[in-house]
Amino acid sequence: MSSGDLFQTETAAPEPLAERVRPQTLDDVLGQDHLTGAEAPLRKLIETDQIPSMILWGPPGSGKTTLARVIANTTQSRFGLFSAVTSGVKEVRQVIARAAEEKKLGRRTILFIDEIHRFNRAQQDAFLPHMENGTIILIGATTENPSFEVNAALLSRARVFVLNALDAVVIKGLLRKVADATGVSEDRIGEDALELITGNAEGDARRAINTLETVAAAANANGAPLTAELITEVLGSKSLLYDKSGEEHYNLISALHKSLRGSDPHATLYWVARMLASGEHPHYILRRMIRFASEDIGNADPRALSISLAARESYDFLGSPEGDLAIAQAAVYLATAPKSNAVYKAYGAANDDVQNHPNLPVPKHIRNAPTGLMKDLGYGAGYAYDHDSEHGYVPQDYLPDNLSGREYYLPTESGYEKNISALMDWWRELRESGAPENGDATP
């Protein structure tokens, strides 16, 4: 068992229901069998008290702190629970100093840091030498992707264990199990009420239990049954999970981009509405749409770029919520437009040649020749003026000599690019037929 919490505090306040029913053993932990099941590697490490430094990554209410407290109940090490929200450098130094004293006495210290992603790079780096010399075993909990929010050096010294959001069956079973603790017998809780609480929780056990506790208090006040109507009245509207700088931010914009590329206007509208309702700045969505118009539609529908820019102008003129419709309209247009990434790939290939051959000379016949000296040096000599030709096109080289014949832009047969492709084929035929170079004087 734990030989003491380094941060015990006295409190007279009653504990919330979620705290009172928190699991105390590995067998009590729900919904994480891949970590706590009989043959799970993490369970074996905990039971043999060979606990490594680790990062527990999972959504809110998935059991990260619960698992840490179960470790505290199991290990022979001293255990410290530490919040990155309320603690700073001073507290870090204090706990490290105390852990160093424990090490001298032959005792290990496990330090649990809740919301470790809230520590900055310097604060996270401060733990590294103490992890390496065995002063502390660090367990960090985070709702954010560790690849983004935990320093690479710290991440390389810790194992990452992923906790899943709890499914509806687990949440319902949990609610039935703890109902008696709220003073509401199970027969007073309708199935529709359980469904509503479970849906509102979205895999978050803590939210589900807190909701049950709140609506139970309202029901107990007049002895009423716990119904879906009562829950709706007490809860009001549901908040949306979103962090403008975290993983969910990138997940949502990725979902929107892929829905646009996949030509699904229904999913596109959903993700636009979801991001706007969550508080994402409309300009961010519009910037991504403008980028998409060039990157994934290109010349298959050149109007897509103009429509995206018009949506930005409309939003800036109207503001929200009226301007939100302009964003939605443009998003649907992009989703249903023909797609091509030919320009995107062509520019990438051209840029590669620029990087690999940065200073190739401009061919003399297309150089500017504003002075007599430049003309004497051959600048502009041999250039044919296209408008003076029969077809408005003169076959001649425009690329540096080392890149002569290089083709970057290969239009598809999608949308307007089909017309471009036909025109380029015609120009190619003129070149191959040796069309005369009419009008060989620079205007």
pLDDT at 442: 36
Q: Tens of pLDDT along 238-259?
A: 555 555 556 677 889 999 999 9
Q: Tens of pLDDT along 19-62?
A: 888 889 999 999 999 999 999 999 999 999 999 999 999 988 99
* pLDDT surpasses 60 at 237: no
Cβ atoms of 110 and 136 closer than 8 Å? yes
pLDDT at 87: 73
Structure tokens at 36: 């706590």
Q: What is the DSSP string of 284-350?
A: HHHHHHHHHIIIIIGGGSTHHHHHHHHHHHHHHHH-TTTTHHHHHHHHHHHHHS----HHHHHHHHH
| Stretch among 96-110, 345-359, 422-436 having the lowest mean pLDDT | 422-436
| Domain 17-162, CATH number (from 3.90.1170.50, 3.40.50.300, 3.40.50.970, 3.40.50.720) | 3.40.50.300
The stretch 77-85 carries a mean pLDDT of 82
Q: Tens of pLDDT along 256-311?
A: 999 999 999 999 999 999 999 888 889 999 999 999 999 999 999 999 999 999 99
pLDDT at 190: 76
CATH architecture, domain defined by 349-433:
Orthogonal Bundle (1.10)
Structure tokens at 178: 């703890």
Q: Which residues 6+ apart lie within 8 Å of 77 measured at CB?
A: 2, 3, 49, 51, 107, 108, 109, 110, 137
Q: Of 297, 335, 325, 291, which Cα lies nearest the Cα of 309? A: 291
| Domain 168-235, CATH number (from 2.60.40.2300, 1.10.8.60, 3.90.1150.10, 3.60.15.10) | 1.10.8.60
Residue ranges covered by each domain of the chain:
17-162, 168-235, 247-336, 349-433
The SS3 assignment for 262 reads coil
Cβ atoms of 61 and 207 closer than 8 Å? yes
The SS3 assignment for 233 reads helix
Q: Tens of pLDDT along 96-107?
A: 899 999 889 888
Domain 247-336 annotated CATH 1.20.272.10 = yes
pLDDT at 363: 92
The stretch 3-18 carries a mean pLDDT of 58
Q: Tens of pLDDT along 323-341?
A: 999 999 999 999 999 999 9
pLDDT at 245: 54
